[in-house]
Structure 1
Amino acid sequence: MTEQEHHKKKRFPRRKSKPRLDEEDITVVDPDVAKRAVMATALGNAMEWFDFGIYSYLAVTIGKVFFPEMTGGVQLIYAFATFAVAFIARPLGGILFGMLGDRWGRKRVLAITLILMAVSTLSIGLIPSYASIGSTATLLLLIARLVQGFSTGGEYAGAMTFIAESTPDKKRGVMASGLEVGTLIGYVAGAGLVTLLTFLLGPKGMVEWGWRIPFWIAAPLGLIGFYLRNHLEETPAFEAMEEAREENEPISIKEIFVSYWKTLVIGMVVVFFYNVVNYMVLSYMPSHLSAVLGYGETKGLLLIVIVMVIMIPIVILMGYFGDRIGAKRIVQGGLIGLIFLSLPSFWLIGNGAVGYVFLGLMMLAVFSSTFQGSMPSLLPSLFYTEVRYGALAITYNISASIFGGTTPLLVSWLINRTKDQLVPAYYLIFAGVVGMIVVTYFVKDTSGKSLRGSPPAVAGEHEIEEVLEEPEEALWWREEKDKEP
């Protein structure tokens, strides 16, 4: 027996007898505490994505400020290349903050990531333009974007982990969907502010100085978010793990890759199609409408803002239904729609009439909502509690860096080379087919069940007796663990 196998056996002993479950093992989640956890995490996430999202909506303007020697589509490519640079640092941030989150706790690390994001975003608004200091401006922009990416690497995985571990099993889907509501609110606030400033100042005023204002707002928002997160309670699942950990040391990065490589790969594919759709709809489409289809910047941004506002109740509804019929089915429904309706969506968007463009955008938004409403509960359920933050951060950020952040850049480059405005639809179809295969055959639906490695979490003491009657069902993951080689 190798040292690693011995270590694994020590950490996860075989359980061939009927699992024992006592009343004190069951976590009773205080509804008020759960709601505060969801609200504080979602609001913090909204502030993070306001900071991160405003760059997307200012991409055309930023291209003019920092890459004035380029023109047209090439200028947009360079602006999105700077957007993609942040994703180089995401895996590094994910690994560092993920491992710290599994050691120090979820709450403390989430407060750190928020402050880092606020500082780096404020810094972008203070950088002199290319006209003032030349290529040094571009270099400073790249550095600030790298810090943004580094902090985001620990943010989203940690937020998903925190909410999933702070909510009752039977309400995990609908409550975790609140995280994506925060994402949309952040995007809406960022896009709404950029739209308003563009309308008031005009394109010329935005290029001269108006583009800085959204970045300056990051500082006060960061302080508010830090206060909210710093006053959260640690998740019950992490506290239970800490009490049971005793002499066992936290799992290393090497152990995660060796022992959980299959789950990591499955998670990366799931994150792949999730991010492709997410970044296509929320980050790329404003520039597609203005730079590719020739829409006015204000008109295109306003359409996206309206679509995102409508998405908010749809996301919550998808989380609600995920708790009842399973998050896996919700995801599969979205993938089927993506495969068969992406082309019609872009045909409508390319039509030019406002009504058709709006309808095409809403079709894509509904597919995106199926994933946004279900992924915050599905992704954390793939991993065991003691590695959840670290493994999920690695999975999410490597995949997001390779496929998510590069989506606007890749699509812009392909359209520029092929002159085919339907390239985004082809990419969505490809992502949908790959996702459908992996989700159908390799993802287990755990909606309503306890998280892997955690005791059951219930919404009240009236549910305890029901859980105690079927300990095998309540601790379903022990049988899965026993089957591991």
Structure 2
Amino acid sequence: MVLAAMVGTTIEWYDFFIYAICAGLVFATQFFTALGKDALILSFATIGISFFFRPIGAIVAGHLGDRLGRRAMLILTLLLMGISTVLIGLVPTTGSIGIAAPIILVVLRILQGLSAGGEWGGAALLAVEHAPADRRGLYGAFPQIGVPIGLLLANGVLALVTALTTPEQFLAWGWRIPFLLSVVLIVAGFMIRTRVAESPVFEEVRRTRARSSIPLVPLFRHHWRLVVVGALVFAANNAVGYMTTGGYVQSYAVKSLHLDRSTVLIAVMVSAVAWLVSTLAGGWLADRIGRLRVYRIGFVVQLLWMFPFFALVDTGNIALLHLALILFAVGLGFTYGPQAALYAEMYPTSVRYSGAAISYAIGAVLGGAFAPTIAEALQTSTGTVYAVGAYLAVVTVIGLVASYFVEDRPGQPLSATSDVRADDARTV
């Protein structure tokens, strides 16, 4: 079960990150070259466009997940993401089919956004709802580590392709290979997820007929404050994380600091390993000192490291880039590892998928949607990456403050019969 949640999430985010990284390294010249100096900003903006469709994916998957089950949604979102990714690898460039090329690219990116919006909630709940009460933080961290593993795979495949091709070959056709390889991952993920048992908590809901016919109605009637607070907490992690997952650091290091592309991708891979370890540590620690306490430690680390991080990156020294990214990952892991357990314990069973998925999706819009675009625009307009650091510091403070407006409920029963329905029982 934990393996299925982790593997599926890994595949989803490999697909998602391949696009984000190529937006910074490839798409500006292959699809948006007519825009001249604004091509890179628009290329990053296509990353953000998909985020606006995440809430739609979350609403649809959340409704069906609360009505039909978590397992079915995991399979559907996996297929949607995988097929969209393979098709991106087949889209002709603007030089071949003109304006139709960027339009097709954006449509497929939107489909990725719909999938990403619905996938996380199902994977997180499947892991947490199967977990013993005293190990939900650790179990819930496994779908979370699918993100750094996906980042590791995406950067690794791109680094390998970059090393095996000339710069001209990479831009001409090499970048397509990672997208097309997704078909292998789709088959593997589909086989694993079709063998997973449904969440025991949802099975109880099915037996007791405690399902809501329209989960969104009770969710926003009784728990809208949780949706807002949960979104703000995640937004602070997501904006910072998208400096690497959204391709900004890779693009800045290659194009502004003139570092070798393969070397930069390897540095990001090393940081992904550090992020994986710190995410697992965050989940494990959340079972011992509480979800929100771990979050707050992570936010403080993010805040304290923000400006030293950019100072080290800006040196153009590859060893210091490694150090900057590794320490950068510590705060990210501590503000990501406890998330699945926190979100699952925030909402009653009948609206849990909808609540978790929508909080996550809105947080992604507020935090990560245009973080690379904002970062690129700030750095271009001010001439310094410290403007980017200031922007991320503000977002981090907002997340830290928001964490004080939700109740920590570790170990609380997740079954339908033990639900506390009142909104004020879950917020402070």
TM interval, shorter chain, is over 0.9
Q: TM-score, normalised by structure 1?
A: 0.84
Aligned length: 425
Match of 1:56 among 20, 29, 43: 20
Q: Does 1:269 align with 2:232?
A: yes
Q: Does 1:118 align with 2:82?
A: yes
The offset of 1:297, in angstroms, is 1.6
Match of 1:196 among 143, 151, 160: 160
When residues 448 and 285 of structure 1 are mapped into structure 2, their CA distance, relative to the original with a 3 A threshold, is farther
Q: What is the SS of the residue equivalent to 1:372?
A: coil
Match of 1:299 among 263, 275, 282: 263
Match of 1:255 among 210, 213, 218: 218
Give the aligned partner of residue 58 of structure 2.
94
Match of 1:163 among 122, 127, 135: 127
Distance 1:223 1:55 in 2: 20
The offset of 1:294, in angstroms, is 2.7
Give the aligned partner of residue 176 of structure 1.
140
Distance 1:279 1:199 in 2: 25
Distance 1:241 1:84 in 2: 36
Give the aligned partner of residue 431 of structure 1.
395
Q: Contact between 1:89 and 1:153, CA under 8 Å: does it hold in 2? A: yes
Distance 1:288 1:237 in 2: 46
Matched AA of 1:65? Q
Distance 2:345 2:20 in 1: 30
Distance 1:481 1:309 in 2: 38
Distance 1:411 1:295 in 2: 19
Q: What is the SS of the residue equivalent to 2:166?
A: helix
The offset of 1:282, in angstroms, is 2.4
For the aligned residues, what is the CA RMSD? 2.0
Matched AA of 2:317? A
Distance 1:316 1:403 in 2: 22
The offset of 1:481, in angstroms, is 6.9
Distance 2:425 2:112 in 1: 41
The offset of 1:482, in angstroms, is 9.0
Distance 2:342 2:41 in 1: 34
Q: Does 1:414 align with 2:378?
A: yes
Match of 2:301 among 326, 329, 337: 337
Q: Contact between 1:115 and 1:223, CA under 8 Å: does it hold in 2? A: no
Give the aligned partner of residue 69 of structure 1.
34
Q: Which has the larger radius of gyration?
A: 1
When residues 67 and 164 of structure 1 are mapped into structure 2, their CA distance, relative to the original with a 3 A threshold, is same
The offset of 1:446, in angstroms, is 1.9
The offset of 1:380, in angstroms, is 2.1
The offset of 1:269, in angstroms, is 0.8
Distance 1:425 1:153 in 2: 27
Give the aligned partner of residue 214 of structure 1.
178
When residues 479 and 197 of structure 1 are mapped into structure 2, their CA distance, relative to the original with a 3 A threshold, is closer
Distance 1:153 1:479 in 2: 25
Q: Contact between 2:67 and 2:212, CA under 8 Å: does it hold in 1? A: no
Distance 2:73 2:252 in 1: 36
Q: What is the SS of the residue equivalent to 1:427?
A: helix
Identity of aligned residues (%): 33
The offset of 1:454, in angstroms, is 4.5
Distance 1:299 1:398 in 2: 34
When residues 127 and 336 of structure 1 are mapped into structure 2, their CA distance, relative to the original with a 3 A threshold, is same
Q: Contact between 2:212 and 2:351, CA under 8 Å: does it hold in 1? A: no
Distance 1:395 1:186 in 2: 22
**Deviations, residues 189-223 of structure 1 (Å, cap 9, x unaligned):** 11100011111112211111111111111222112
Matched AA of 1:391? G
Give the aligned partner of residue 130 of structure 1.
94
Which residues in structure 2 correspond to 1:285-324 (within 5 Å)? 285-324=249-288
* Range moving further from structure 2, 95-104 or 322-331: 322-331
When residues 61 and 450 of structure 1 are mapped into structure 2, their CA distance, relative to the original with a 3 A threshold, is same
Q: Contact between 2:201 and 2:416, CA under 8 Å: does it hold in 1? A: yes
Distance 1:140 1:105 in 2: 32
When residues 121 and 280 of structure 1 are mapped into structure 2, their CA distance, relative to the original with a 3 A threshold, is same
Q: What is the SS of the residue equivalent to 1:328?
A: helix
The offset of 1:117, in angstroms, is 0.6
Match of 2:190 among 226, 230, 238: 226
Q: TM-score, normalised by structure 2?
A: 0.94
**Deviations, residues 349-383 of structure 1 (Å, cap 9, x unaligned):** 11222222222212211110112211122122211
Match of 2:9 among 20, 23, 45: 45
Match of 2:311 among 347, 371, 379: 347
Gaps of 5+ in 2: none
Q: What is the SS of the residue equivalent to 2:335?
A: helix
* Range moving further from structure 2, 75-84 or 308-317: 308-317
Q: What is the SS of the residue equivalent to 2:337?
A: helix
When residues 224 and 483 of structure 1 are mapped into structure 2, their CA distance, relative to the original with a 3 A threshold, is closer
Q: Contact between 2:212 and 2:350, CA under 8 Å: does it hold in 1? A: no
When residues 257 and 482 of structure 1 are mapped into structure 2, their CA distance, relative to the original with a 3 A threshold, is closer
The offset of 1:286, in angstroms, is 1.5
Distance 1:314 1:76 in 2: 32
Distance 1:435 1:482 in 2: 20
